[in-house]
Every structure is written in structure tokens, then in C-alpha cells.
Structure 1
Amino acid sequence: MSTEKKIKMFVLGLDGGSLNFVQPWIEGGYLPNFKTLMELGCSGDLESCLPPVTMPAWRVYSTGKYPGKLGVFWHQQLDMKNRTVITPNASMIHSADYWDYLNRAGFRTGIFGMPDLYPPRPVDGFVVCGGPSVSSTEYSYPQNWAAELEREVNYEVCLKGDFFGAEADSPIVAEALNVIEKTFRGADYIYRRDPVDFLMTAIFDINRIQHFFYDQKPSLQAWQIADDWLGKFAPQFEYIAIMSDHGTESLERAFFLNVWLKQEGYLFTKFKPMDILPKLGINRTTAGKIISILGLRRFLDFESVRKYSSLLPSASGVFGEFGNQAVLSRTDWSKTRVIALAQGPIYINRELVKDQDEYERLRSELVEKLEAMQEPRSGKRVFKKVYRSEEIYQGPHAEMAPDLMALNFDEYHNRAGLSQPAVFADSWAWKGNNRHNGMFMLAGPGIRHGTTLKGVRIVDLAPTILHLHGAAVPDDMDGRVLEEAFLPDSSHSLVPIQRQAAIDVGYTFKKEVESDQIISDRLRDLGYIE
């Protein structure tokens, strides 16, 4: 592609961003640059994937493909044959990202802070991976950028610590806001030294703040940092896009799916004498909350916290193991037919449910019961829909999918822990929950002004970005080019959409045991697992 035809584009990704959440701040004048972008371009809700969670949603965005073509379905996946937890990383995904195709079309690209890119792979430009999946100092390509960023801008991949027990004015909140600021400063630092044609910057920790503070001051402060940097980056590019992996909604109550499965006779646990401790509230989670409430986190290093917390049982009553692995160890597999992860994935034990007719009857039974489930206080249904895997996952990796995927209404958080005596509980710490619809904005030459688009999906962004650059769209992408975003007389409308054969990046999965534990710790700090 000739230099004359090249455009400059900036994409800002905001984990958990949604218009229902920020619209009042935009209209109130708190986010002037976002307001200007909405006026100059088109915007709307962005339908995420299932489940609408950081992993797999960011890679669904970057590849333009749903999880069945990627082989990742949540932050962690169950290997039912070996009864263990797999923590996916980028090496599991063979699909190319849209910037690989931009590189082939002659555009140099820079990707900064996007989750679920670790370990990084080579691009024509640079990559700096974002949390929570980074587990080493080798999180950049070229590799030297990581050390330089840490030296020059004191860069941190993601916040160390958690918000359990924190107030809006707690030091940990100031630290989180500083991490967001340093992410932008890091992107700006590299871009000034390597002014690529296409720059994407993603902010993960904004979602962490929203989970624990929802629409309170810390969330507004985080968005104001993003707005300020949007104003700095925008003048340097022709095209500007905003997107999110999912949205955020006010959280009412938590639903403990494995507790329900146990009560209904689908899941059984082993009894141990130490089971009494979690029932008395003595476990790692409550100990961690007490440490945070007393403000002791700053005096304890990460390894000390891990060392002493391992002396206590997990909230599921298991010693020496964390998160979903603790739930699996607690399970009596000789009787258990069904087990679940948080936020939707449900797995059936095919060693016990071997007959296909029995398998289908069991799935139908679970779908019927869960879709009828009501929260007792309000009488509202908990789940919008419970999908059979083949309804939503197609592609070469669909066989790795959970047997069912339960999509809850946005105000209910689906958890996987086994320690809770009741199926429902008031929110333990989160005030904001993942919402199925995120957000997008797009502005630049040939883009409609002040227009709201309907029916836009997260998989539609990759092919649209490629078409804007005059690049062909791979034939295996699930998304479509958003032609309704273009002015009728623009070149984007007049030039036919081109197609090309998809490429395979040829990754081989690299399982890192130490990495799995670090990521599990981060997921626990976020509140995703116990």
C-alpha cells in the first residue's frame, strides 16, 4: 500500500465501559472530549460475547471471531477429564488479530495495555500486554520496552492489591487511578518514540474501580483521566474509536450457582473435619478483607500474604489450593453430574452422564429450572437465557466449550463458590456488575455525525477497522463491516468490501504453573473467584 493512502487511527478501549453508565457524566459536562466525539461521529451500545467478560471478550474484539473459533470461554476453563483448571493465555489462540492484517496491508501498529495478549508475539510495531493475564516482566514486544517503561514512567501492568473494604478516599483507590494515568503515559511515551500508523490503548483497571465503586467518585475520576488523555491523543489522528469489552450495571445480589447445584442434587462435596472453619467465616477471603479494612495491606508484601493465607482454608474449605481448583478438589466426582464456574459456564460430568439421551435430558432440565429461577425478594428472574453450547459456539474449538452457558440479568452476579450457605446473598463487595452491552464511538472523515447505531456487535469492529484502512476482511471473521456508519458519498461506502483468506499465527499453548497461580490471585483480588 502506498504512503499516500495511509490513514492514522487511534482506538481507546475501556474495560467495562457502557453508555448507560457514563451518559449522565457526558451530558453533565464532566467528560467534554467524549461528548465532542459523540457529536462528531456515531455511537451506540456494543453487544459483547457470551459470557460478557474480559476473557474472552477482548480477543473476540481483536479477532472478529466468537469463542468457538478461538478456544477460550472464560478466565479459566475446566478440564473435566483431568478434573483440573486451565488458565488460558494468548498462546492458546491461533487466530490472527486485525492488526496482523493491518501489518500485511502496510500499516505499522502499536497495541498498548490490552488484556489477554500475554505472552506477546511479534508485530510490525509494538505490543505491551495488559492485565490481569500478565505474569512476568516479558510482557512487551520488542522485549526492551517493558524495562524502559518501568524505568522512565514507572509503568505498572495492573494494580497490585484489592479494593475489599476500601472507601472512596482509601490509598488503594489513589494507587489505582495512578495506574490508569501511567498506562496512558506509557502509551504516549512509546508512541512519541515510535509513531505508528495505528495505535490502540486499553485501560483495564477502570473496570476494577467500577466493580467496587460503580457510579461513585472514583469511577468518575477514572473516566476523567481517560477523557483528558483522549483530548491529548485525538488531534494526532484522523480516525478515533472508543470501545469496550462489556458494560457495567448496578449490582443487586449474588447468585451462587454451585450452591444451587448442590442443593438440587447435581453436585456433591467431600466432608472433612476442617469444613467447620469456612462455615464459621474463617477463611482466606475474610482474612484478606480484614487485612484491607485495617489498612495493613501496605505493610505486607505479596509473598507474605500468600504464605500466611495458605494456612487457612479457602472459602470452599480446601487447604493449599486457591480459586476454582479449590472447588474442584472439594467435589465428590463419584456423584457429581454438574459443576459451574462463575459468570455462566456450566460443565457436565460425562463420566457419569454417558448416554446421549440422558445428557440431553439433563441439559433441558437445567435450562428449564435456571430460566425459571426467581430472586426471592424481588420475584425477578435471575437468568435471561441458558444456552446450549451449540447455540452460541461454532467453529474448530467449539468442542472445548462448556455444556451450557447461563446469561444472567445484569443486576445479578453469578458466582461459583461453595461456602455460601444460601443460594442468594447481598453483594459482598462489588457494586457494579458486568453488563452484556458495552459501548462504541467512531469519528473521522466519511463517518456519520451525531448518529446512534443499533445492533452493533463486538465482532463487527475488527472488519470495520480493516475496511476503513482499505484492507481486505478475512473470510473467517464472524463480524460485518458497519456500512451504516459511513456517509453515502464517502469512499468507505463507494469502495466494495474486499475479502481475503484468513491466516493462522501458529501459536503453541504454553502452560505456566507459576503464571496460573499469579493470575488466580489477581482474579481473586478482582472478586471473580474465591
Structure 2
Amino acid sequence: MAKVLIIGLDGATWRVLEPWARAGRLPHLAALMARGSWGTLRSTVPALTLPAWSSLMTGRNPGAHGVFAFRRLAPDRYDSPGLASASDLRTSTLWEVAGRAGQRVGVINVPPSYPIRPVNGFVVSCLLTPPGERFTDPPELARELDGYRIDLQPPRGVVLDDPANREPALAYLDGLRALTRGRAAAVLHLMRTRPTVLLGVVFYAPDRVQHCFWTYVEGGAAPDADVAAGVAAVYAALDEAVGELTAAAGPDATVILVSDHGFGPKPAHAVHVNRWLADAGLLRQRPLWTLRRKMIRKLLPSSWRGRFDTLDRILVQRPRSRAWADTLEPGTAAVWIHVADRYPYGCVNPGAEYEAVRTEIVTGLGALRGPEGEPVFQAVQRREELYHGPYVAEAPDVIAVCTPRFGVVYHSLRRDLGQRALFSPFHEEGFSGAHDAMGIYLLAGPQVQALGRHREYPIESIAPTALHLLGVPIPRSMDAPACTSVLDPDFLRRAPVRFTDEAPDATAPSPGWRSPEDEAVVAARLQALGYLE
């Protein structure tokens, strides 16, 4: 049985789990809380699935592993080069480090794990897997998982926590419950047939429920009793899965329960960062842009419209613009500086002018206040203040994280510049919940003290903690310390933390997406989940 069992609950937050456990609604979680140590696991910036799970399993920040968002970032072009995947994760994972040390590992649905990177054990890939593509390694493992489903996307554009949509809401919740039960059954099967020393699995249901049904989980009055029961049934299935996997791992295993980020209510206000940049004279908007678009769509043949109906030909005067913003996720804005030696039409000189523009943006956005005088951003930072490592130059020049009442919108150039006002009501994909940085961790097992609620740890601390529990030296290149304050002092005396100078290896190049069609299918799936514009 597994010596270390990592159970990921995507998007799980103590603001939901703690009161539900204390009320007796999650008995297996409550039992782990009683015999373990738990607290807040601070996510990455942005607090988003792909960079956060990447940091959890590498022990490194996005600047050191290269995954910043669901899209690849390119600071030398005006559009994204495509979706990110496991091929963009450019350092060793926990699973690979343990495998090279001779430990057998299993990885199930931990993003990003498509395209599959083989390990000393087995892999079942993640939500990035296109339909019909190989989703296991070794390939024959797929036959043991006949009918296995990786994810379930919500019906797009339907506000599921609106009582008027109770039928699709109930169907989606039934699907999530079945997905959770099916995943638990598959993991239990693999624990019996393919035993490992380290096993990691991620359940996606908490994220899906909290995006769509936050009004049902935050503790207020439920708009519909049947939908409330459906939400509770999904959490009950998750709790049962935690209990079953913990029991199957055995009394000698250490259980690490984690999430990639937390959750809260959706923002009340959208802040239009590109409107702010335009008003500050940093972004140049073309005059009469709505008329230009109407003329192009009316007068040009359809075969030509794609060439001319673009942001740069209709809306933005790129050569005269010094900066623009886009959205990494609804709580995080990326601001790019139009540097002359990076972009084809760059107009900001590197060096002193570049730093002056960045300072103007950092100062201006940091001082921005909302309609009621409240701060709009909790942090506005230069990329090198936030990240470190070989891939910092791929990050946005400035990153702005919103306070909880504010958010940024997808398609932000078009939608921001279409607004005359700096703020508007936040409406994005009909969701009622939104990510925040306050994820969860819980450790329980023979080497763990029963401290109850404990201190905050960064998400990068999980990989070194798991390696230490396995007796594997921790690469010094990992960013954060192991969670030693929760470990038994006698265990630490018997097994002091050891380090190795093993460098982050240059992982074998991966083919990435097999075809543009595969990438497009996955992009549509991520859009339905609210992860992409």
C-alpha cells in the first residue's frame, strides 16, 4: 500500500469544508482533521488550476517551472501561441524525483499530465486529454479502466444555481456524483492491482460545484431544496472517497489532503484595466471603431473579413500603445509593456523608459479605488518581484491581483475598451463562485502530530514534504521548505531532512498537442469551465 497518499480536491476551501465537517456532514474528513494537522495552503499567482498543481508537484513557482496559465504566454507577440500542457512543464515533478530514487508511483488526473510523461509506475492523464487520445501509461491500463471518465463540463451559458434551471442543475450534480464515485472505484482498483509507494489523485468536483453553486455551499438559504440535496450528495461522495482511499492505504500511510486554490463568491464589480490604461494615455484606441467594424462586416467579402476584422485593425492602435492588459483568470490581470526590442511594433525603449512605464502602472493600479472608495487590487507587482527562475521573462511585465469584490473579464481588450466607465457589474459565464488563493492542506498519519488547525504553508511545500516522508532527498532547487512543523519531532530526529544538489532536469521534449483540432476541442472544454476566454 502507499506510504504517502496525496488526495487532491480541486478548489477545496476550509470556508466550506470546516463548517460542514464540524456539523457532521463530512465524517471522514472530520476524522482526519481530529488526528492530523491542517491549515491554509497559499496558491500561486494566478490562483489557477494549471500553474497551481504544477507548483504543488514540482515544489517550484511558475517562474521556475514555466506554466503561468491555461494559455502559453509569449512576451514577444500579440496573441497567445496556444494552450499550455504538460509539455510546458519544464522541470522535474515529485513523481519523477521519487521514481528516479527507485520508488514506484501512481498519478491519477493531476493536471497537467497530458501529454503523458511516463513515471516509474503508472499515469492516468488529466482534463487536458483530447477525446480518443491515449490517457494512460502503460497503454494497456486503459483496458482496466473501461468507461473511465476524466471530467464533466457544465452546460455552457446556463446559470445553474438559478431555480429556473433546476433540471440541468440536478442532472449536472448527478453527473458529478457519479464521476466522483467512479474515480474512487478506479483508484481503489489500482491500489489493489498496481501497488505504489507514492500515489496522487485529484478529484475535480469541488471546483465544479463551487463555480456553479456557490450560493448553496456558502451557508445561506438554499434557493431550491432538491438542488441543495444534490450539492450535499456530491460532497458526501467526496467524503466517502477520502475515507475509502485512506482506509485502503492502511494505518502506516501518511495522507496529504490538498487543493490547488480556494474559493469564494464571485466579484461584485468588473474593473476594466484596459479602459484605465487608455484613460492614462498608455493604450491608444482607434476612433470610430464601431463604425469601422460595421463597414468591414458589411462591405468586405467573407473571405477577407478575417484579415481585417481584428483588434489591431479596428480597435487598438498598437504602434502607439505602450501597454495593454489581458486576463489570466477572473481575479488576476496581466499587463504587457510594448517594449521595442521584443515586439514588432514596440514603442517603449528598454531600460529607463520601460521601468518608468512599469512604475506608472504599478503606482496607478495600486492606488485605484472602487465606487465606494475601497482598494481594487490587493497586490500589483513587477514580474521579478513575484516570480524567480529561468522562465520569469515569459511572465507579464506587471501582474495585478484583485481584491475579492473586484474581477477582470475575458476578451478584456474588446470588452474593456467598449466601456466608457472604469467599473461595471461583474458577469462572467453565469458562475456564482470564484477562485481565491486560500487552498487547503491536511496531513495525518503515524509521522504527523495532531495539532489541529495550524499555520499557513505555500503550495510549493507539498512536494518536499512528500519526498521527505518517502526518505528521498529534497532537491535544493525546490522553492519552499517541507512542512516540518506538523511532523513528529521523534520522526525528524530519526529521519532528518536531507537535500540533494540535483538540478531541475531538462525534461525530455514532449510533442504537445497532436493536432489543432485536439487543441480546439480542449479549449472549448476549458471555456465551458470558465478557464479561458
1:23-422 alignment runs, 5 A limit = 23-86=18-81, 87-132=83-128, 134=130, 137-146=133-142, 148-149=144-145, 151=146, 153-159=147-153, 161-162=155-156, 164-166=158-160, 167=165, 169-170=167-168, 171-216=171-216, 217=228, 219-237=231-249, 238-253=253-268, 254-269=270-285, 271=289, 273=291, 275=293, 331-342=316-327, 343-350=332-339, 351-376=346-371, 378-416=372-410, 417=412, 418-419=414-415, 421=419, 422=421
Residues 353-408 of structure 1 deviation map (CA, whole Å, 9 limit, x = unaligned):
124211111111111121122221x4321211101011111111111111011111
The equivalent of 1:280 in structure 2 is: none
Of 137-146 and 441-450, deviating more is 137-146
Give 2:431's aligned amino acid: W
2: CA distance, partners of 1:274 / 1:223:
51
Of 50-59 and 131-140, deviating more is 131-140
Residues 5-36 of structure 1 deviation map (CA, whole Å, 9 limit, x = unaligned):
x9622211111111123221111111111111
The equivalent of 2:498 in structure 1 is: 498
The equivalent of 1:284 in structure 2 is: none
Whether the aligned pair in 2 keeps the contact of 1:410 and 1:434 (CA below 8 Å) is: no
Give 2:409's aligned amino acid: R
The 3 A distance-change label for structure 1 pair 31 and 93 is: same
2: CA distance, partners of 1:126 / 1:457:
27
Number of residue pairs matched?
Answer: 480
Cα distance, 1:509 vs structure 2: 5.2
1: CA distance, partners of 2:472 / 2:409:
42
- RMSD in angstroms over aligned alpha carbons? 2.8
Q: TM-score, normalised by structure 1?
A: 0.83
The equivalent of 1:11 in structure 2 is: 6
The 3 A distance-change label for structure 1 pair 227 and 205 is: closer
Cα distance, 1:475 vs structure 2: 1.5
The equivalent of 2:225 in structure 1 is: none
2: CA distance, partners of 1:205 / 1:255:
29
1: CA distance, partners of 2:323 / 2:473:
44
The equivalent of 2:531 in structure 1 is: 528
The 3 A distance-change label for structure 1 pair 215 and 44 is: farther
Give 1:12's aligned amino acid: I
Cα distance, 1:478 vs structure 2: 0.4
2: CA distance, partners of 1:143 / 1:328:
48
% of aligned pairs identical? 27
Of 101-110 and 457-466, deviating more is 101-110
Q: TM-score, normalised by structure 2?
A: 0.83
Cα distance, 1:201 vs structure 2: 1.1
Of 199-208 and 138-147, deviating more is 138-147
Give 2:423's aligned amino acid: F
1:447-526 alignment runs, 5 A limit = 447-489=448-490, 491-500=491-500, 501-504=502-505, 506-508=507-509, 510-512=511-513, 513-526=516-529
2: CA distance, partners of 1:482 / 1:14:
19
Cα distance, 1:486 vs structure 2: 1.3
The 3 A distance-change label for structure 1 pair 124 and 503 is: same
Cα distance, 1:522 vs structure 2: 2.4
Task: Give SS of 2:122's match.
Answer: strand
The 3 A distance-change label for structure 1 pair 276 and 23 is: farther
1: CA distance, partners of 2:235 / 2:432:
17
Which consecutive unaligned segments of at least 5 residues does structure 2 have? 217-227, 296-301, 340-345
Cα distance, 1:320 vs structure 2: 10
Determine if the alignment matches structure 1 residue 424 to structure 2 residue 440: no
Cα distance, 1:442 vs structure 2: 0.3
